[in-house]
Structures are given as C-alpha cells and as structure tokens.
Amino acid sequence: MKILLLEDDHNLNKIIKVSLEKKGFFIDSFIDGYKAVDKILNDSYDLYILDVNVLGFDGHKTLEFIRQKDINTPVIMISAKIDIENIKKSYNLGCNDYIKKPFDFEELYLRIEYHLSHLNLEKTSELQKDLGNNFSFDLIEQRLYKHKHEIDLTVKEKLLLTLFSKNINNTVTNEMIHEYVWSSKEMQTVSMRSVIHKLKQKLKSGMIINLRGVGYKLIK
C-alpha cells in the first residue's frame, strides 16, 4: 500500500516514514505542501497523512485539493493544534481521522490499519483477495499466498500485484502501472516488462495476459 506523508518536522517525518516502511508500507514523504500537491497531481495513493500546521500550502489546503480529486481515499490529519475549530475544519473538509500530537506510533498504525481495512471491506468485501487458482493476496500486509504458503515478492512486484488485485478481470493500462508502481518517474519499457515477467513466473501460467499496446489483465 502507498501512503503520502506531509509533515514539516524533519525528525518526526523521518520517524513516521521509517516506522511505516518497517510495517511494509511504501511511503512518499514531504515537508512542503506545494511539492506534495504536485506529486498528488501525478500519482495515486491508498492513504494520506497530513500535518495541519505546514508553512505555505498547509494540511487543510492539501486536504481540500485531495478531496477535489478523490473523495474516497482515507486522509488522517495530525496536529499539535487541539482546539475544536481546527478539528471541525478538518472534518468539514473531508478528513477521516484527526490525531493530536504527541501520539504513540502504534496509535497511528492502528488507525491506518482500520481505515485501509474499512476501505477494502467496502470495495472488495474481503481483505484476502482471492486471485483464483489457489492464490490469494493480502492487500494490507502485501503478501502473496498459494494455499497457505507465502511467495516472496519484491517491492515493485507488491505494488504491481496490488494494482492487479484491485482490478481483477479488468484492463490495467501501461499508464496506470507507470503511475502506481513507478510513481510516474522516468523508466524504460523493458523495466516494466521485466517486473511483469517475474511476477508471471510466481503465478500460474495464463493468469496475467498481455493486451498488446494497451496494458495487462489479471484473469481469475
């Protein structure tokens, strides 16, 4: 799962980023709201964590921008501001949660798990995504299983399989893969083909099909 973090305290930003990466999440972190919004324009995320009190383009403005683009993705606000007006403004702009600083990291992690689980339950009615052919993929833990045996995945393979799992039997375009797996960064076509080829080898033959010139499809 991909998370965007906006926190202008360098030390706290680093602590949250490293801690969440140890939990298996993929984090793009920013201390500048303008740079965060520029990234949001060209990428997609599964959850946002926004500090309210950021100089310039602050957390509230970033939240407002996100909701203009996407009304469903969970947004957690974090702030040392505990007055009711800031909390009310955050919820009125569409946040899903508001955590007051200082907070325990485990509290943040539990709330992330809750919101991702709730979202996935609404979208897929299950956290363990059935891929067919005795394969399943845990969308939260980013783990691929055949029966109960776990199959190791690289970082890029996890991101790619997350995208496929959310779009079973539907076309995943090359542009969608470029945006989600490579965060729209420059890459060579051979890199995408290489990752897809390696993922195909870990699944049953024929589960991922190539739609020439368009993209790919995971067939259940």
Give yes or no for residue 173 having a pLDDT over 50: yes
Percent pLDDT > 90 in the chain is 74
Q: Which residue has the tokens 């040392």?
A: 80
CATH topology of domain 2-123: Rossmann fold (3.40.50)
- Written out in words, the top-level CATH class of the domain with range 128-218 is mainly alpha
Report the pLDDT value the prediction gives residue 28, as an integer from 0 to 100. Answer: 94
State yes or no: pLDDT of 125 exceeds 50: no
Query: Confidence class of residue 120 from pLDDT cuts 50, 70 and 90?
Result: low
Where residue 186 falls among pLDDT bands split at 50, 70, 90?
A: confident
Contact 179, 43 (CB under 8 A): yes
**Single-letter amino acid code for the residue at 83:** D
> CB-based contacts of 152: which residues, under 8 Å, 6+ apart?
none
* pLDDT tens, residue by residue, 15-74: 999 999 988 889 999 999 999 999 998 888 999 999 999 988 999 999 999 999 888 899
pLDDT tops 50 at residue 198: yes
Whole-number pLDDT of residue 64:
96
Q: Which residue type sits at 212?
A: R
Which pLDDT score, from 0 to 100, does residue 128 have? 77
Contact between residue 32 and residue 4 where contact means Cβ atoms under 8 Å apart = no
Asked if residue 135 has pLDDT above 50, the reply is yes
Residue 122 has pLDDT above 60, yes or no: no
- Can you tell me the distance from the alpha carbon of 145 to that of 181, in angstroms, rounded to the nearest whole number? 21
Mean pLDDT of 143-160: 93
Q: Domain boundaries in the chain? A: 2-123, 128-218
Concatenating the DSSP letter of every residue in 177-206 gives HHHHHSTT----HHHHHHHHHHHHHHS-TT
